């Protein structure tokens, strides 16, 4: 019998520690499928952050360096400049990429570093237990915005992809989601393109992924998938934000 679905070679045979319904494991798998398809397992270096995905190296069967919180853009720059033949991707959460690491992210893009940034936006700080993130929606309750995020008091969510889209050095910015099978397929196309851009030396690519966090959203997985469609993607619209590569989707 022909095997039509299997674990990607670059995904280790390990049980994910992520909560039921979490988007991380889906994104891990997508990236590993792409690494296999592009045949780059032996030259890829991943840069995971502190946060829920701090143990990403237990799952990705590629070289990885766990870096200081928010500094992925700078660490990846150092790696890529020192070893230009490697394929370097950062894996960053919303707190990492759009709060503590805002400067490193913006300037890696501005320099047009030839790297791929994977940005997991789940609107909360996950690992520390659901605190307000820069991407937390207005009205959303978190442990540090217990009365609901009030723009008058806690300010507004930040749209990092739109900011990066303004930067000349960024060649490709797209926002996708992993809440439905159709969206997961689109997410994979975007991620693949972001890796191919690097292989073709086109510069900085960013893929923002709206990713459910049922545990900290206090929802069931099914409710959280709906919430991505009905609430989150209204504030963070899906689609291509910038593309100067002159190509359509990878496949």
71 near other proteins, judged by CB under 8 A: yes
Query: For 156, left (φ over 0), alpha (ψ -120 to 50), or beta?
Result: beta
Q: Which residues pair with 208 in a beta bridge?
A: 119, 175
Between CA 90 and CA 94 the distance in angstroms is 13
128 near other proteins, judged by CB under 8 A: no
36 near other proteins, judged by CB under 8 A: no
144 near other proteins, judged by CB under 8 A: no
Q: Would you say 54 or 250 has its CB closer to other proteins?
A: 54
DSSP for 108-133? Answer: HHHTT-S-EEEEEE-SEETTTTSEE-
96 near other proteins, judged by CB under 8 A: no
**Single residue of 73, 93, 126, 165 touching other proteins by CB under 8 A:** 73
Between CA 233 and CA 208 the distance in angstroms is 12
C-alpha pair distances (Å), 51 with each of 45, 64, 70, 134, 238: 19, 15, 10, 15, 24
104 near other proteins, judged by CB under 8 A: yes
Identify which range of 45-53, 128-136, 201-209, 235-243 contacts other proteins by CB under 8 A: 45-53
79 near other proteins, judged by CB under 8 A: yes
93 near other proteins, judged by CB under 8 A: no
Between CA 136 and CA 236 the distance in angstroms is 11
Q: Would you say 55 or 229 has its CB closer to other proteins?
A: 55
Residues in the site for other proteins, rule: CB under 8 A?
41-45, 47, 50, 54, 57, 60-68, 71, 73-83, 85-87, 103-104, 106-107, 111
């Amino acid at each position: 019998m022909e095997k039509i679905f299997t674990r990607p070679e670059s995904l280790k045979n390990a049980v994910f520690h992520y909560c039921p319904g979490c988007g991380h494991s889906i994104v891990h798998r997508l990236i590993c499928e792409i690494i296999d398809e592009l045949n780059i397992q032996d030259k890829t270096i991943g840069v995971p952050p502190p946060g829920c995905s701090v143990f990403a190296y237990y799952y990705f069967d590629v070289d990885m360096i766990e870096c200081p919180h928010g500094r992925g853009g700078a660490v990846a720059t150092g790696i890529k400049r020192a070893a230009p033949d490697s394929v370097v991707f950062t894996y960053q959460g919303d707190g990492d990429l759009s709060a503590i690491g805002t400067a490193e992210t913006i300037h890696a893009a501005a320099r047009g570093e030839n790297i791929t940034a994977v940005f997991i936006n789940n609107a909360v700080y996950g690992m520390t237990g659901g605190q307000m993130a820069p991407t937390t929606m207005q009205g959303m309750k978190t442990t540090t915005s217990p009365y609901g995020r009030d723009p008058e008091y806690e300010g507004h969510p930040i749209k990092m992809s739109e900011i990066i889209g303004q930067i000349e050095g960024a060649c490709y910015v797209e926002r996708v989601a992993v809440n439905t099978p159709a969206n997961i397929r689109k997410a994979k196309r975007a991620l693949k393109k972001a890796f191919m851009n690097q292989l073709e030396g086109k510069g900085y690519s960013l893929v923002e992924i709206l990713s459910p966090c049922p545990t900290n959203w206090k929802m069931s997985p099914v409710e959280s998938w709906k919430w991505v469609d009905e609430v989150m993607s209204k504030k963070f619209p899906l689609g291509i934000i910038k593309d100067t590569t002159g190509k359509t989707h990878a496949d």
